[in-house]
Amino acid sequence: VHTLRLILGDQLNAQHSWFKSKDDGVLYVMMEIRQETDYVLHHQQKLLAFFTAMENFSQALRQAGHRVHYQYLTDTDNQQSIGKNLQALLGQYPNAQLQCQLADEYRVDHYLRSWAGEQNISIEWFDSEHFLTPRDALKRYFPDSDNYLMENFYRQVRRQFDILMEADKPLGGRWNFDAENRKKIAANADIPQPLLFANNAEAAAERLRKAEVKHFGAADSSALLWPVNRKQSRELLQYFCRHCLANFGRYQDTMTEQSWSLYHSRLSFALNSKMLSPLEVVNTAIEHWHDNSAINLAQIEGFVRQIIGWREFIRAMYWHHMPDYQKQNFFNHTRPLPHYFWDADTKMQCLKRAISQSLEYAYAHHIQRLMVTGNFALIAGIDPDPLDDWYLGIYIDALQWVELPNTRGMSQFADGGLLATKPYAASSNYIQKMGHYCNNCYYQQRQKVGAKACPFNSLYWHFIHRHRPALQSNHRMSMMYSVWDKKTDDERQQLLDQAERYLQQLDDL
Ligand code: FAD
């Protein structure tokens, strides 16, 4: 063996140039380790999906004629850390060169570099050949600015990769079709059933049991619903393009009790584990748009924007601002995370639904994450540290590079506005306007004060009021301050008293 090539659990990219040729002197190394199962409390489905997908990937490599060293969690010689396991292998193959693909999480990248430095081991680094843009994309695209907007970034990427372009103009003459999208869905709409797989993950479940790895959430390990290989990932992509893409943008921001994923693609796990590449996803969706007149430009643009805009931008922001980003707490929020984030036992129907489906499927769609759980945590003043851990643990797609900027930045404004131009704080009006949860709620959506007043209403105004010094100069907030100022003293006091009562008994809501 002259080369050891490490493949991390989120580097399952079968198209990587590493695999273009076969060489018996190259040993691919994959490992299931406590270092990765225990850095945060994970949803059981997330652990099962990663381990099963990793194992499948290793088998596919072997079938293609590559040599693979796969360490199971319960192997007796598994030392449960990347460094120790690699060191043992380097002991076995003392002349081997270690090669790694750039890790996407700062945690892992930093660990590998410090470990190699301490041990005096040289690592040859390779790109993961997954993203369209490099880690330092912000500096490269906007060398003269430190104020980064997703919209500008997205336009650059579209131009550079010639996606939905007509010469140098956006197809249809506009970059953004958001105004035509984002409708509330009818209560009786006929929504396609999500395509679910039934993967056998019993062996991985047994290893987790044997190793006594702590986890939470539901899982049927005999029928894991997430894609765990490339074939299934592609099937999910096809299913999305056929059945969901025509309504993707239109119902992107809506919420309903009829469906847990609506017209969303649920491709985030396949993408983040790199079983699918973003360019492949976008190109496939565009082919379907060409072939299917039911998919209009606003829908395909809305989807392309998520993948080559938001996803790439979030990653670029992460690498630009780490490691400081993970400590930011602009509003100094310190309240503990209420128990219902873990058990969904709350009278607030929107939170109950968003959290219970997260516990059941390890999934919530963007608006549930942003405008239900995230919004509530923001206006209630929850400490972003435990909140980050919760988002990082519960979702099937959660890796720090994408979870952290979405949580700290977009949803909690804990970065003081590096990512979002204003806090995504909203009262129950938004939740009612975009969905159907309020109809079945214990609380009265329109009531602002009183025993059954929806907590989102007074907490929203409490948030606006308590953060006035930090927010009033933000011109996107000025309308809310003028609404607040037009209320009578008595109205304002009642709202603040109501919010204080709720904050005192946050765990009982
Ligand atoms: P779709 O709605 O079908 O969108 C298609 C794809 O676009 C997604 O698969 C995803 O790859 C990409 N995308 C869309 N929005 C974003 C975004 N804001 N940031 C990055 N990519 C995006 N996404 C993760 O992949 N991992 C996370 O850990 C994660 N944590 C989040 C935490 C919070 C508080 C919020 C508000 C959002 C988070 N997101 C995260 C972004 C987004 O909610 C998920 O990507 C999306 O819900 C995944 O479901 P989907 O595949 O059905 O997405």
Does residue 198 fall inside a structural domain? no
Q: Complex ipTM above 0.90?
A: yes
Q: What is residue 233's predicted lDDT score, i.e. its pLDDT?
A: 98
Q: What is residue 22's predicted lDDT score, i.e. its pLDDT?
A: 97
Q: What is residue 30's predicted lDDT score, i.e. its pLDDT?
A: 98
Find how far residue 111's CA is from the centre of its chain: 22
Whole-angstrom distance, CA of residue 301 vs CA of residue 248? 10
- Closest-CA residue to 180 (of 245, 248, 262): 248
Mean pLDDT of the chain: 97
**pTM check: above 0.95:** yes
Same domain, 105 and 249: no
pLDDT level of residue 180 (50, 70, 90 thresholds): confident
Does residue 415 fall inside a structural domain? yes
Q: What is residue 457's predicted lDDT score, i.e. its pLDDT?
A: 98
* Half-sphere exposure for 433 (CA within 13 Å, toward CB): 10
Does residue 166 fall inside a structural domain? yes
- What average pLDDT does the segment 267-276 reach? 98
Q: What is residue 179's predicted lDDT score, i.e. its pLDDT?
A: 83
Same domain, 157 and 108: no
- pLDDT digit string, tens, across residues 348-376: 999 999 999 999 999 999 999 999 999 99
pLDDT > 90? residue 146: no
The residue written with tokens 């690498």 in the block is 319
Same domain, 372 and 449: yes
Q: What is residue 186's predicted lDDT score, i.e. its pLDDT?
A: 94
pLDDT level of residue 145 (50, 70, 90 thresholds): confident
Span from the CA of 268 to the centroid of ligand 1 (angstroms): 6
Instruction: State which amino acid sits at residue 116.
Output: A
Closest ligand 1 atom to residue 244 Cα is 3
- What average pLDDT does the segment 307-332 reach? 97
pLDDT > 90? residue 288: yes
Whole-angstrom distance, CA of residue 467 vs CA of residue 499? 14
Q: Where are the alpha helices (DSSP H) in 295-369?
A: 297-304, 312-321, 340-343, 349-361, 366-367
- Owning domain of residue 47: 3-126
Does residue 149 fall inside a structural domain? yes
Q: Find the residues whose C-beta lies inside 6 A of ligand 1.
A: 264-268, 271-272, 306-307, 310-311, 314, 365-366, 369-370, 374, 391, 395, 397-398, 402-403, 406-407, 410-411
Span from the CA of 274 to the centroid of ligand 1 (angstroms): 14
Q: What is residue 4's predicted lDDT score, i.e. its pLDDT?
A: 98
Span from the CA of 403 to the centroid of ligand 1 (angstroms): 8
Whole-angstrom distance, CA of residue 384 vs CA of residue 325? 11
Does residue 210 fall inside a structural domain? no
Does residue 234 fall inside a structural domain? no
pLDDT > 90? residue 181: no
pLDDT > 90? residue 48: yes
Same domain, 304 and 347: no
Span from the CA of 290 to the centroid of ligand 1 (angstroms): 25
Q: What is residue 484's predicted lDDT score, i.e. its pLDDT?
A: 97
- What average pLDDT does the segment 137-144 reach? 93
pLDDT > 90? residue 1: yes
Same domain, 381 and 478: yes
Same domain, 100 and 143: no
Q: Which of 7-11, 19-23, 145-149, 455-459 has the lowest mean pLDDT?
A: 145-149
